[in-house]
Amino acid sequence: MACNLQIAVKRLKVWSNNADLEFAIEVEILGRVRHKNLLSLRGYCAEGQERLIVYDYMPNLSLLSHLHGQHSEDCLLDWGRRMKIAIGSAEGIVYLHHHATPHIIHRDIKASNVLLDSDFQAQVADFGFAKLIPDGATHVTTRVKGTLGYLAPEYAMFGKASESCDVYSFGILLLELCSGRKPIEKISPTIKRPITDWALSLAREKKFDEMADPKLNGKYVEEELKRVLLVALTCSQNSPEKRPTMLEVVDLLKGESKEKLANMEESELFRSDLAGDDQEGLSGADDSSDFISEEKDQKDTKQVVDLGAEAT
């Protein structure tokens, strides 16, 4: 049935066996999931070497475009919208980890894969690297794919992918959302510093206000900022067994687990006598891999408007 519908089309630029596999995985995953915080599939095309995926159009593009890209100077992300994005994207990942059958690991949680609709509601997108987790399995061992700065250490070094890897990536995303900083900061031509090192040092000194994005101009709820930062750093610990589940993350972000939050703040991770002792080195894989990329303000998705599209 024809209708007035805005759509976005993602087109495979160069065909290859790997790209075709990612296309097939994404179509399969999108066909399985239905959640308000996960991008919906409208249709797809696989003819010859042409590969197209059709989605709903996202008027506010991606979170990346607002933090570091073409909309960063517009300052459209007030604190209320940031909290909405944090909770919404977390709830989308909860669906993947706990409600989808079988459970799904995204493997590429990052700012450019969180799209924003007209109301700035988050929709997690891009399932080309996703993995289905068989019942009873704690992890799958696979070739490392993803984006520098977001990769959990156990995944980057040993290829062990689990729900906890997504939790780590989401922690980095939360730090980025609060601070407006990139996951990896270039200090000099030869030295890079992960956002976790910078943030953890300040958190141990209880300097949470110093981590707020300057674009907020001090307009944020201090208690919420502190809560999100504590959750972010707990998610992005190097030890996967110490990270919370995404179900716990949602409760913490909503302020529904005050006792857990208090215990978190008193944990060894945030001991003030450890201030200045950052987590060991830059977590993540060597950037020489063909499957590891750096985050940039661009998407392969071409947003188009179709005033007479047929939803398939």
CATH at residue 77: 1.10.510.10
Model confidence, pTM: 0.87
CA 119 to chain centre: 19
Residue 40 lies in a domain: no
Residue 65 lies in a domain: yes
Residue 15 lies in a domain: no
Residue 202 lies in a domain: yes
Q: Residue 73 CB: number of other CB atoms within 10 A?
A: 9
- What local confidence, expressed as pLDDT, does residue 59 receive? 95
Q: Are 163 and 246 in contact (CB under 8 A)?
A: yes
Residue 250 lies in a domain: yes
CA 92 to chain centre: 11
- H/E element, 6: strand 5-11
Domain count, the chain: 1
Residue 146 lies in a domain: yes
Residues identified as active-site: 108
Identify the CA nearest to 38 among candidates 91, 113, 85, 92: 92
Cα–Cα distance between 201 and 158 in angstroms, integer? 27
- What local confidence, expressed as pLDDT, does residue 152 receive? 97
Give the range of the structural domain holding residue 278, as residue numbers without chain letter: 58-296
Identify the CA nearest to 102 among candidates 42, 20, 29: 29
Residue 13 lies in a domain: no
Q: If you ran DSSP here, which 8-state letter would residue 163 be given?
A: H
Cα–Cα distance between 304 and 114 in angstroms, integer? 18
Cα–Cα distance between 266 and 246 in angstroms, integer? 21
Cα–Cα distance between 56 and 123 in angstroms, integer? 10
Q: Are 10 and 302 in contact (CB under 8 A)?
A: yes
CA 15 to chain centre: 26
Give me the tens of pLDDT residue by residue for the chain, a chain 312 residues long: 456 778 899 898 888 888 898 899 889 988 889 999 999 899 999 999 999 999 999 999 999 999 999 888 888 999 999 999 999 999 999 999 999 999 999 999 999 999 999 999 999 999 989 999 877 666 677 889 889 999 999 999 999 999 999 999 999 999 999 999 999 998 888 899 999 999 999 999 999 999 999 999 999 999 999 999 999 999 999 999 999 999 999 999 999 988 999 999 999 999 987 665 555 433 444 444 445 665 654 444 444 433 333 333
Residue 114 lies in a domain: yes
